[in-house]
Chains A and B, each alone.
Chain A
Amino acid sequence: MKQRKGLFITSFLVLPVALYAIMVISPFLQAFYYSMTNWTGTNPNYKFVGLDNFKRLFTNELYSVYLIPALKHNAFLLIAMPVIVIALALFFAFMLNVGGRSRGSRIRGVGGSKFYKIVFFFPQVLSVTVVGVLWGAIFRSDEYGFLNSILALVGIPTKPSGWLSDPDIVLLLVMLVMIWSSVGFYLVYFSAAMSSIPTEIYEASMLDGASRVQTFFKVTLPLLFESVQTAWIYLGIIALDAFALVFVMTPEQGGPNHSSEVLGGVMYHYFSSSKAAVACAVGVVLFFFTLTLVMVSLRATRRERVEY
């Protein structure tokens, strides 16, 4: 009987596991292997070179000029972007669900909360390319740029050279666009989590004398902890990518002068310049970067499950 059951379960598992092994695990392993060769990506003749590619990436100036800024930028995005997105999304979700209680009765969101929810969600349905082009137009260099024309209208000095070609702010602008396009999704995500908190708990905290801010920090936030944790990991992965936006929006795809370089872009650069093995090495670096993030955040935020 027990054997049959095992067979039954296995029959369901074989196909998905096989697919996963072929499509996900084996490319990972291959990438590890190729990163230690001198494969160009097209030439079938290549040989094993050990850790040379990694050494070069970090120490040879021709290579490190790409990798080091990319690592720094991804690290910056990784720290700043999720915090801002989660803070904004939580704030909006709280306001839209329980924030509006002007007369001290019935828990509800601020007026028109359903409409806002849809509006905030809009960016999520646009493709990243569209988002990139759209914001590219906003930050355009000449007076036809949306931002420049508005600044000109109110008489604030414009930036004729363009916003995205300023090495000091280009990464911030990319991050701004990332935030703009993800807040809506996490707003809806947190809203769903919030609506599973029984109303009576809010009522009890009202009767206990908690203000809105106190309710948020002492009741809502702890109860949403698991959702926040999940969001953190997702956003971390988005922050480690950021390739598409950088590719569409920034000059020289990562410029000016490497000031918006990200790891995905570096990988792309080496693939397209016939250095597939180096690209694989960058991929391996990114893999360990991501793995560390997930392990650290899961470990650091481990907590008891909350049940209602």
Chain B
Amino acid sequence: MATVTYQGASRIYPGTEKPAVDKLDLEIQDGEFLVLVGPSGCGKSTSLRMLAGLEDVDEGSILIDDKDVSNLPPKARDIAMVFQNYALYPHMTVYENMAFALKLRKTPKSEIDARVKEAAELLQLEDYLKRKPKALSGGQRQRVAMGRAIVRQPQVFLMDEPLSNLDAKLRVQTRSQIASLQKRLGVTTVYVTHDQVEAMTMGHRVAVMLDGLLQQCDTPRALYETPKNVFVAGFMGSPAMNIKTVPLTAEGAKFGDVTIPLTREQVEAAGVGDAKTVTVGIRPEHCKLGEHGIPIEVELVEELGSDAFVYGHAQLGNENGAERFVVRAGSGLLPQLGETVFVQPEVGKEHVFHAETGDRI
């Protein structure tokens, strides 16, 4: 049980100018499940490896329970990590894999046995204890990797994309297992993924990163409802938010003939620096198809059973010409390809950003 604190922690790879992780400030509560999410190369894995001690902390520091661990070797940090490819020891059985760390610490044999058995039961691995990793399926290997971490009873769990080598169905299943396991064990967990669905469903809080910089760290709901900037808005939610830069008028944002009303404060904030345009984000699920609104030429209808998404192009009257637009359609009558439909954004559900800085207004 521990808290984890990043204090202006940076990682600059030798021979590069730009930090891979740039002055990361992050506080993780005791028992919290924090997800680091972002596109590849955003520095999320590097941040995790810095905490593990597998990467140097070039500036700032990292604290576990108020103790500066920046310069401690990995084994002195009392953390356990689950790797993307599981990194099981191929020459050891499942039992030996899980017992390895305990054996190195000279834990009594009876206790090792009890702890391995307990973890195996938790993960339904009892029948496989004598097998070698190569005789296991992907999902079983993943569970062994989890077991190896659990057996150690560490202060912090680190997980580096542990689900990305599993097939889609197993991923969804394992996702909920990990989340409930974490809840049960109550161990502080830092989880890295590039999948925003994983981030939204698993994390107590989610930290979104881009280009080595922390963009926003908040609960999944807050990220969804009040994204701090255009990047977070576009990254969280599926299908992605429609983010369009359109002309700004005194009344609001002009989507072709339709004007989305903005408050006076919003118009003023958007107009700072003589900006003539404003960036507005509208989630596909916050739109209605109707008789009038933004006209969209339908190009693809994606039917998911419970939902359907209509993909098309809209003329928004800006210099970009026709722009892609996605709308969620109810389960009613769906439009045909090539048809023109009219979209009415739900009032008050739009997200407004400054056209140049991308910050939320």
Contacts and interface: CB of A to CB of B under 8 A. Distances in A.
Contacts of A222: 91
A105 B90 contact: no
Nearest to B132: A304
A292 interface: no
Nearest to A219: B89
A204 B89 contact: yes
Contacts of A206: 53-54, 73-75
Contacts of A225: 91
Interface residues of B toward A: which range? 20 to 34
A114 interface: no
Contacts of B100: 205, 208, 210, 218
Contact of B55 (A105, A207, A209, A214): A105
Given A104-B72, A208-B75, A308 B90 contact: yes
A103 B56 CA distance: 8
A155 interface: no
Contact of B81 (A103, A104, A204, A304): A204
Interface residues of A toward B: which range? 20 to 34
Given A104-B72, A208-B101, A210-B104, A203 B91 contact: no
Contacts of A153: none
A209 B91 contact: no
B105 interface: yes
A306 B104 contact: no
A307 B74 contact: no
Interface in A172-227: 198, 200-201, 203-210, 214, 218-219, 222-223, 225
Interface string A88-122: 00000000000000011110000000000000000
B130 interface: no
Contacts of A203: 52, 54, 74, 81, 83, 87
Contacts of B90: 201, 223, 306-308
A208 B104 contact: yes
Contacts of B104: 208-210, 214
Contacts, number: 77
A201 B90 CA distance: 9
B182 to A, nearest CB: 19
Nearest to B92: A222
A198 B84 CA distance: 12
A198 B73 contact: no
A2 B148 CA distance: 50
Interface string B75-105: 1000111011101111100000000110011
Contact of B87 (A104, A201, A210): A201
B75 A207 contact: yes
A306 B73 CA distance: 29
A171 B270 CA distance: 89
Nearest to B57: A105
A250 to B, nearest CB: 43
Interface of A: 103-106, 198, 200-201, 203-210, 214, 218-219, 222-223, 225, 304, 306-308
Nearest 9 interchain pairs by C-beta: A104-B73, A200-B87, A208-B101, A209-B75, A204-B87, A222-B91, A307-B134, A200-B83, A206-B74
24 contacts: A103-B56, A104-B71, A104-B74, A105-B53, A106-B56, A198-B85, A200-B85, A203-B54, A203-B83, A205-B89, A205-B100, A206-B53, A207-B74, A207-B75, A207-B80, A208-B75, A208-B100, A208-B104, A209-B101, A210-B100, A210-B104, A219-B89, A223-B91, A304-B132
